[in-house]
Every structure is written in structure tokens, then in C-alpha cells.
Structure 1
Amino acid sequence: MKLISMGLLAGVLVAATAALVARRRYVVVTVNGTSMAPTLSDGDRVLVRRRRLDQVSKGDVVVLEPPLDPTGKILPGPPGTDGRRWNIKRAVALPGDPVPPGIDGSVDRVPAGSLVVYGDNPHSVDSRQRGFFAGDRLLGVALRRLGGSAL
């Protein structure tokens, strides 16, 4: 009887450890809005792997906080369930890349620690209006729509 109890306890500990590791690496985000249409729709749930800026590639769909306004306040947008304001956009230029047309013309290259992001919807509010997004405000890279395909 003790062997079964010890085996069950070990199994529970392994499962709990795996759940903690997964929670630190992955998060589920619900899309709110149409900035990524037609790729993602309002209400889609997306699996996001936590990543640093140096782990992002051009073309990745990323989740990050919007830039701050000049007074240090977060620009408007709907808060997530955690109270933070998240944006889901596509990375189009990374540190050192040429700055795409229509973005801050005072520099030729994307500054270190920053990225340029666009929504797939041409009416998205993104780097074209807000400028560079800070890499230290990055949550991660969207891997797939839950119940759907990879992005």
C-alpha cells in the first residue's frame, strides 16, 4: 500500500512541477479587437510563449504593452484580465533594422531595445501612430490559436 501512495505522491509532484514550469513559459491571451484581422479575430484565444526581444524574429506575432506617452502614462487601450494593457501585433522591424517608411524619421535604424510592430488590419493603431515599442515591455510570441492552427 505504501508503494502505491509513494508512487501517487511522486506523480502529483511531477504534475505540479510541470504545471508550474508551463505557467512560467506559456500564457493564454484572449484577443480583444480587430487589429490583427484577418489573422486573428476578436475573442480568439492564443497560446503565447514568453520571450525576450532577442528571441523574436521578423514576422512573429507578439504580445506587448503599448508605449508610454511623453508623460509616462500608458496609452489608452482595453485592459486584460490581469489589469495590464496588452497589444497583439506583428513584428516588422527589430533593433538595428532599417526603420520602415512612415515611422519616426529622425533615425535610420530601429534603436536598441525597441521594435516596430504593425497590426495585420490596415486600420490598426500600431507603430505607424505610436512609434517604437519597447522590447522590455514584451510578453512573448504567439504560437497558435487555441482550437486552431499555428500562426
Structure 2
Amino acid sequence: MRKVLAVSGVGAGIAAFVALVLVVVALAFSVTVDGASMEPTLRDGDRMFLEVWTRDEIERFDIVEADAPSAVSGGAVRILKRVIGMPGDRISVSGDARVLVRPAGAEETYVVENPAWSAEPGAELEWRAVPEGAYWLLGDNWGASTDSRSFGFVDAEAVHGRVVFRMLPLGRNGAIAGDVRLAPVEPGSAR
């Protein structure tokens, strides 16, 4: 009987240790959303799991944590934004939430369909080429996001990883919806 109690006590101790390690790892590889720039996809206070080991595998529409230039401090500020432009792409953005993309090496033009974006009047930007080793990042909250429309391209080395899972709050935890896509633009309708 003593052996059984000793073994179950060791098992409980190991389980507690493993649980503690998992909590520490989850906290070490997580980021908390600060602000409304990614609403409705991410909300202020959400704790997101950050995959730091995938920073070299970033794909279009991933949500990433990166360092971006700060107009206030002159230094860098950590942001969470969606990757819209990949290296070699050509991008054109208008204030009415119309984003056009010509993927690297392609002649076709696509419009980014993001259900989170709402229209606001504004001027269209000229076509810009995303440099090698950089990304064009936009927030899902079109009217309340400081993103590449303000600070330009973000160097790939400034990306810390991608967020793929909401850890907290528990009632909304789970994988991030992937409902953003490229849709072909009819010939002649691309500005």
C-alpha cells in the first residue's frame, strides 16, 4: 500500500511540475493585445500564443508580432498586424479599404477581401513594390490602425513570430479565423 501511495505521490508531483512548465512556456511565448487596431479579429487584452520558431515561415495573411518605427519615441514599438504584402509583391491601397495586390512574378491583380475592413473615404496610393526581406502590414480595424500605411514596410528581421491561437479569455480561446483572401480583379477595374 505504501508503494502505491509513494508512486501516486511521485506521479502527482510530476504532473504538477509538467503543468507548471506548460504555464511558464505559454506565458513566455505569448503576447497581450494592446489596443483596438486588430478588432474584431483580436481584442484589447486578448493573450495570444506566439510561434517564434516560425518567423522564417511567414505567409500572406498571417498575424505577426513585429517591431515597427514609432513616430512618438523615434524608436520601435511592438505591434500585432496582418501580413498583406510579401517580398516582391506590388501593393496599392486606397482609403476606402480597397487593397490591391500583384503577387511577386504575377501579372494578375487581386483585391484583398477582409470582412473586418469597413470603408472610409481617402486617397489611393501609388503602386509600391515590397522590397526583398520586408512585409507590408495592415490592421484589421481599418480606421483605427497605425500600420504600413503610416510607417511603411517592416523588415522581416523585425518580425518576432506569428500568432495563431487565442489563449485568453477562456470563453473566446481558440484558433484565429482565416477568412481573409485574395480575389481576382476583373480586367480594367484595377486602378
TM-score for both structures, normalised by structure 1: 0.69
More strand by proportion, 1 or 2? 2
> Is 1:138 aligned to residue 159 of structure 2?
yes
Aligned residue number for residue 29 of structure 2 = 27
**Do 2:90 and 2:127's aligned partners in 1 also have CA atoms closer than 8 Å?**
no
**Do 2:92 and 2:128's aligned partners in 1 also have CA atoms closer than 8 Å?**
no
- What is the SS of the residue equivalent to 1:65? strand
- 2:158 is matched by which residue type in structure 1? R
Q: Hey, which bits of structure 1, 4+ residues long, moved more than 6 A?
A: none
**Do 1:104 and 1:131's aligned partners in 2 also have CA atoms closer than 8 Å?**
no
Q: Give the drift of 1:54.
A: 3.1
Q: Aligned match of 2:58 in 52, 56, 59?
A: 56
Aligned residue number for residue 111 of structure 2 = none
Q: Give the drift of 1:112.
A: 1.6
Residue by residue over 1:37-93, the C-alpha shift from the partner in whole angstroms, topping out at 9 and shown as x without a partner, is: 111111111111114543111011111111367xx9325xxxxxxxxx310000001
* In structure 2, distance between residues paired with 1:107 and 1:100: 5
Q: Aligned match of 1:99 in 84, 90, 94?
A: 90
**Do 2:55 and 2:162's aligned partners in 1 also have CA atoms closer than 8 Å?**
no
Rg larger in structure: 2
Q: Aligned match of 1:119 in 133, 139, 146?
A: 139
- 1:33 is matched by which residue type in structure 2? G
- What is the SS of the residue equivalent to 1:101? strand
Query: Unaligned stretches of 5+ in structure 1?
Result: 76-84
Aligned residue number for residue 90 of structure 1 = 82
- How large is the RMSD of aligned CA atoms in angstroms? 3.6
TM-score for both structures, normalised by structure 2: 0.56
Aligned residue number for residue 43 of structure 1 = 45
- What is the SS of the residue equivalent to 1:56? coil
Query: Unaligned stretches of 5+ in structure 2?
Result: 94-123, 177-191
Aligned residues: 135
**Do 2:92 and 2:127's aligned partners in 1 also have CA atoms closer than 8 Å?**
no
